[in-house]
Amino acid sequence: MKVSVFDYGAGNLHSLIKTLARDGARVEIETDPSAAARADVLVLPGVGAFGHAAARLAPGLADVRAALADGLPCLGICLGMQLLFDASDEGEGEGLGLFPGRVKRLEGGRVPQIGWNTIEDSDDPLLDAAPVAIAYYANSYVCHPDDASCVHAWSAHDATRFPALVRARRTVGVQFHPEKSSTAGVELVRAFLREAAR
């Protein structure tokens, strides 16, 4: 299985690549979004800022949208999940729009939210296969879908409840970092790859 990790040019992807390659997947870093969309699995990592990442994605936006519509399995992590939405208050640029809605600044006492937080009200096969009860977050922005039926798990920061996991067919977005969420988080990535292989 060829897994393309789309590189926004924003940070270290080592722990994510190590997690993805754990069961023998061939992981490639790809800076061309159109080429990334031709893999068996696309991963949008969680490092960077929306405006910069959207600019890097823009040349292949139509190709990635078409691939997702055709059933390309995709895992969006943190910023990668946010790129699955229409747009963000964090910066200019267009997201993939797979989930109608906007990314907005997280409200609460201490922002960014950095550290462990609980996963609540989960009803997704990935969280059945890998029951992640707590996960590691590092985020200042959260997704606000127009239709909450895409949300399959939630978290809360102070009084703000926000989507922890969204899904549209074979595309899954998680606001947390599974590759940094201990054994259960790693197992969630493995469960996603097993699902993608079917």
Q: Which residues are catalytic?
A: 78, 177, 179
Q: Cα angle vertex 10, ends 64, 37, to 5°?
A: 15
- What is the 3 state secondary structure string of 112-171? CEEEEEECECCCCHHHHHCCCCEEEEEECEEEEECCHHHEEEEEEECCEEEEEEEEECCE
* DSSP for 58-94, written as a single string: GGGHHHHHHHHHTT--EEEETHHHHTTEEEETTBSS-
**What is the rounded CA–CA span in Å between residue 143 and residue 176?**
12
